[in-house]
Structures are given as structure tokens and as C-alpha cells.
Amino acid sequence: MYTVEFHAMASPCQVLLPAASEQQARALAQGAIDEVRRIEVKYSRYRDDSVVTAINRAAGGDAVVVDDETASLLHYAGQLHGISGGLFDITTGVLRKAWDFKQARMPAPGQLDALLALTGWHLVERQRTAGVNTVRLPKPGMELDFGGFGKEYAADRAAAKLLEQGVRHGYVNLGGDFHVLGPQLDGTPWRIGIQDPRHDDGTIAAIDVAGGALCTSGDYERYFDHEGKRYCHILDPRTGWPVTAWRSVSVLAPLTAAAGACATIAMLKGEDALAFLASMEVAYLAMDAAGALHRHATC
């Protein structure tokens, strides 16, 4: 087995797969890596030439024509909004402007209220007319942010590229979001460690995965501590304030996009997280704010 490492979406990434040589492994992995980078270029809100930037720049103006892939992702975002009861909302990325997790800066008075007025998935106008897809943000200053599922979608697409080449063992790992193509060569599952949310070099469990996806969402990815309280980057769309009920949630599902979405929605659900995960019929491992572990099925 060979590991091909690369960097994308502000994360360390790797493709692990069997090959006759390192050169062959890199050749096999290149298509998957190219696909990840294609998606990053297309949907990153940090790039002036991305689809997301074009949509955001036009907020308050005319509708923007988008391709079928983008329309499908917007449809998926709408589905996630529905199953989450409105908590998964890709218009709430604008709330990040009130928080600075690098400088440990809290929102200024009134800042969150002003930004919350620019959010709401129900405001997003989507149409398909004569085979042409359009999207419009009606209020100036509104934004879409695909960060809630973009990396996970890229992991699934990268895995699809490898499967097309006949790869049936190994995995894609994009910053801790795993899409497992198949078990190790001897048939045993991969053992993937789950990071301890309070100790960078520790784990809270190891989960065996022979196929499918494993994603973790937590309050330790971007955060700061202030007066004994942790403020993380996962923001409640109803208030603009960080979630506090869970330290981390890890989910096993057939696709990375599904696993990642379920983990994030669970973080947003607070005390209703476990009931939500049960309703989605996924395996999970969750650590609550007190440090207690909750698990279901194979986790």
C-alpha cells in the first residue's frame, strides 16, 4: 500500500491505495487529486473566479446562470436544510464576519443582528427554465458558503475517480473526512482514530471501517477560549452564537457528504442530536460537553 499526500481545501490530505510501485500509486491517485482541486477552484469562496464568488457578488442584483453540478449541490443544500429543521443553512456563512477565531474576537454589539438579517435559505431564488439553471440572492450582502459539505463532496468524487480505475482497497482522507474504498488487502477493516477534542495528540476511540465514509465535526477545529468558555466555528443559525452541547460527533454513512452533514447537523441539534442521528439510521460516536461518550451500532 502506498500513501500519496497533498494539500487542498486548507487541509492535509492523502490517498492510500495498493500499487506495484510508488510511481504507479501516484499515477492512480492523480485523477482523484485533480478532482479535489477542481472542486476547490470551482466552489471556494476565497477565490475571485469561483462559482460561489460569482453568485455572492451578484447578491441583490440579477440571477446567475449555473451548471447542473452546481444546481445539484444547491438542491442537496435544500434537502439538508429540510431534514435539519432549518439548522443546516448555507446562507449563514456570512456570520463568520462577526467572529475572529484567530484573534479571539467576539462580535461587536449589534453585529450579529445585522448579519442574521442577511441569512435564510428560504430567501434563495432557484429556477430551471428551458434547461437553464439560475440562482439569485435577493439581498445585497447575502452569501452562499459551500464549506459545510464541499470537502465531503470532493472526497466522494475523488473516491469515484479511483473506483473508475478499479481501485477497491484503501481510502481518501481529506482533512479527516474519510471515504473508504474497501478493506485492507487481507480483508481486515481500516482502524481510524477519532481525535480527542481536548488533546491534540490523543484519541477517544478507534473505529473499524471496511467501506463507506467516516466524518467528524467538533468544537476543536477552529475556536478560542474566553473566560473559561469555548467558542467554536459551528454557529447556530438562529442566534449566530457557537454551539455548546457537543465536543465532537463522528458519523459512519455510505457517502462522505452524508456522514459529514449528519455530524454537523448533530452538533447544531444540541440536546436533540442523538434522536436526530437515530432517525437517520447512522452509526455514530459522540462526546458531549461534559466529556461523556455516546455511541450507536458499529462505532
**Could you tell me the residue ranges of all domains in the chain?**
2-37+151-296, 51-136
Burial class (CB in 10 A: 0-12, 13-18, 19+), 66: buried
Yes or no: say if 180 and 43 are a contact pair by the CB < 8 Å rule: no
pLDDT tens readout for residues 193-252: 999 999 988 999 999 999 999 999 999 989 999 888 999 999 999 999 999 999 999 999
Residue with cell 446562470: 65
Q: Cα 155 to chain center, whole Å? A: 10
Q: Which residue has the higher pLDDT, 118 or 299?
A: 118
Whole-angstrom distance, CA of residue 102 vs CA of residue 190: 34
- Answer whether 134's CB lies under 8 Å from 66's CB: yes
Q: Quick one: which of 211, 214, 169, 213 has its CA closest to 195? A: 214
**Contact predicate 246/274, CB 8 Å:** no
Positions at the binding site: 148, 264
Determine the pLDDT at residue 227: 87
| CB contact at 8 A, 284 and 276 | no
Model pLDDT for residues 38-76, shown as the tens digit of each residue: 999 999 999 999 999 999 999 999 999 999 999 999 999
> Which tens digit of pLDDT belongs to each residue from 164-192?
999 999 999 999 999 999 999 999 999 99
pLDDT of res. 249: 98
Tell me the average pLDDT across 119-140. Answer: 97
Distance, in Å, from the CA atom of 246 to the CA atom of 209, rounded to the nearest integer, reads 23
User: What pLDDT sits at residue 248?
Assistant: 97
Annotated binding site for Mg(2+): 148, 264
Give the amino acid at 165: Q
User: For the domain 2-37+151-296, what is the CATH code?
Assistant: 3.10.520.10
Q: Can you tell me the mean pLDDT for 76-89?
A: 97
Q: What is the fold, at CATH topology level, of the domain defined by 51-136?
A: T-fold (1.10.3980)
Q: Are 219 and 234 in contact (CB under 8 A)?
A: yes
Mean pLDDT of all residues in 113-129: 97
Contacts of 275 (CB under 8 A, 6+ apart): 269
Per-residue pLDDT, 200: 87
